[in-house]
A and B are shown apart, each in its own frame.
Chain A
Amino acid sequence: QVQLVQSGAEVKQPGASVKVSCKTSGYSFTVYHIHWVRQAPGQGLEWMGWVNTNTGGTDYAQRFQGRVTMTRDTSTATTYMELSGLRSGDTAVYYCARRRDTAMKTPFDYWGQGTLVTVPS
């Protein structure tokens, strides 16, 4: 069955970086791209960007450009999201989600379980 399994919770100091992984299984890795979405406590969903699992190409939301890096490892079907310059406002649950590569408008049909990143103020 399709699975997206994320790495465990992290606590980071302000200014540090965090790298969250998303290991996929149960389907052909390069047929679905991986997006990252975060959710601050009590808030809504916020799209951060995505990585083309076939080419490694990326596209990031404007507010994260310069601070986020998304990569993939096709040998392990794993995608990574690294966020640098952490501040208390980055405290959130970070989700990976897959999207079929057939068109840009396809939905996020499976999601990881989420990774809580805490940045104390």
Chain B
Amino acid sequence: SNVLTQPPSVSVVPGQTASISCGGSNIGSKSVHWYQQKPGQAPVLVVHDDSVRPSGIPERFSGSNSGNTATLTISRAEVGDEADYYCQVWDSSSADPYVFGTGTRVTVL
């Protein structure tokens, strides 16, 4: 089955840029979605279809996808961005087609 690999943790200084990778075989051919999950809360969609921000999501969140890696970028990071982030794809070739990444804890310090 498809595996989406993310770094367990990323640290960033307030005001700087954090990049979170999501690695998977030929992920560039799939639509990647990103979710933010703060402690004790349900996930929230922050980027869909590789690079589209839903209404209400700050422009500081952006995404890209090519080859075997998709990336979520948080520009001008704020303390409020501290959360776990998950990538997700629909993989038509997988027995379990809805796949989540392993998750990344972002710390803003």
- Chain A residues proximal to chain B, CB less than 8 Å: 35, 37, 44-47, 50, 59, 61-63, 95, 97, 104-109, 111-114
Contacts and interface: CB of A to CB of B under 8 A. Distances in A.
Interface string B74-100: 000000000000101110100111111
23 contacts: A44-B100, A44-B101, A44-B103, A45-B35, A45-B43, A45-B86, A45-B88, A45-B100, A45-B103, A46-B100, A47-B99, A59-B97, A62-B95, A104-B92, A105-B89, A105-B90, A107-B33, A107-B48, A107-B49, A107-B88, A108-B33, A108-B43, A113-B42
Contacts, number: 55
Q: How large is the interface on B (under 10, 10 to 19, 20 to 34, 35 or more residues)?
A: 20 to 34
B13 interface: no
Nearest to B103: A44
A44 B103 CA distance: 6
A85 to B, nearest CB: 19
B70 to A, nearest CB: 13
A117 to B, nearest CB: 15
A108 B100 contact: no
B64 interface: no
B102 interface: yes
B90 A104 contact: yes
B31 interface: yes
Contact of B31 (A47, A95, A105, A111): A105
B42 A108 contact: no
A46 B103 CA distance: 11
A62 B96 contact: yes
B48 A47 contact: no
Interface string B6-18: 0000000000000
